Amino acid sequence: MSSNKLGLFSIVLLGINAIVGTGIFLLPNQAYAEVGVTSIGVIVFDAFLVISIALCFAEMGGMYKSNGGPYVYAKDAFGDFVGFEVGIMKWAIMIIAWAAMAMGFPTALGAVWTPAQNPVVQKIIAISILVLLGIMNIMGVKISKIMNNIVTTGKLIPLILFVTIGIFFIKGENFVNPVSESGEVVLKGTFGSAALLIFYAFTGFESIGVAAGDMDNAKKNVPLAICIVLILVAIIYILIQVNSIGILGASLATTSTPVATAAEKFLGKWAGAMVTAGTLISIGGINIASSFLTPRAGVAMSDEHQLPSIISKRNSKDVPYVAVIISVVLTALVTLTGSFTTLAAIR
C-alpha cells in the first residue's frame, strides 16, 4: 500500500470522523424530549434508513476509483449537465459545512475559554484553523492520514468509555417518558420529527467516496468502509441513547449537555470535562476530515474537464494543492459572513 494513499483502516476512521460530530453529544436530550423512550427506536429506524441509502453509495463506490463520489455517479447516470449541477452543489455544500465547523470550534471553546466568546476572536481562530489544515494537506496525504487517525481515536475514547462503563449504571425505572409537574406525559414532537432530528447525526457518510482517488484499492475499500462505518456509528448512537435515558431518566429532557451530564453522574466532574474535551476534539476531527475531502470535490470536476484543469494540478507529494488553496480561500470567505448558528442553518 502506498504511503500517499489511505488504507481501509484510515478510510473507516475518516468516515467516522466525517459523521460523528457535535450532534451525538447534544442530540440525545432533544430526541428524548420529542418522543421519550421511543427515541431509542427512532435511532434504530434512522440507522436502518441510512444504512439502506449507504448500501446504494457502497454499490456505486465499488465501481469507481476516481475522486468525486456523488458527482461521478450522477454524471455517468444522467449526463454531463446533471453531473455538473451535482458536482458544483456538492463542492459548495462541503465548503459551507467546513466553514460552519471551523466556526463551531471557537464557539464550543467559548464554553471553557471566555475570550473565544468574542465574534472577532472566533473568526480569527476559525480562519487560523483553515489555513493550518490547508498547509497540513499540502504537505501530503500521509500527514493528513496520521492526524485523522489520532483525532478520530481521541474523539471516540470518551464515547466508548461512556457506553462501556455507563451501561453498569443504568436503572430500569428510568426508562419512562418525561412528565409535567402534574404527572402527565409531555412529548414535544412525533416519531417523524424526531427521526428528522436524529438523521442529521448520521450525515457525512456520502462524502467518503469523494476522495476515492486518494484511497488504496478504492473499488474494494470504499464500499466496505461505508458499511463498517455506518454499522459502528449506529451501534454507538443506540448505546449512547440507551445509557443517557437509563442514567438520567426524565431529567434527560431538561439538560442541554446530556452525555456530559450523564457521565458526571456516574464518574464525577472529571468525566464532564472529558466529554467537553471530546466535543472539541470531535469538532476538530470534522475539520480535518473536511480539509481532506472538500478539495477533492473540485478535483473530480477538473479531472472530468468540467472545471479548469489547473484545479487538479498536484505537487511532488501528489496533493491537489491548487484545489486545497481554492477550498481554503473560499471557506475562509464564507466563514467571515456569519456565526456558527447561521452557517449551520445554511448548510
Q: How open is the CA angle 105-111-117, to the nearest 5 degrees?
A: 70
How much is the pLDDT for 214? 87
Using alpha carbons, select from 207, 277, 251 the residue that is nearest to residue 25.
Answer: 277
Stated pTM of the model: 0.82
CA distance 312 to 321: 8
pLDDT digits (tens, 9 = 90+) for 256-296: 778 888 988 888 888 878 887 888 888 888 899 999 999 99
How much is the pLDDT for 68? 84
How much is the pLDDT for 180? 72
CA distance 200 to 193: 12
CA distance 206 to 101: 17
Q: Which domains does the chain have, with CATH numbers?
A: 8-346 (1.20.1740.10)
Intervals of the chain under pLDDT 50: none
The span from the first CA to the last CA of the chain, in angstroms, equals: 36
How much is the pLDDT for 169? 94
CA distance 186 to 258: 18
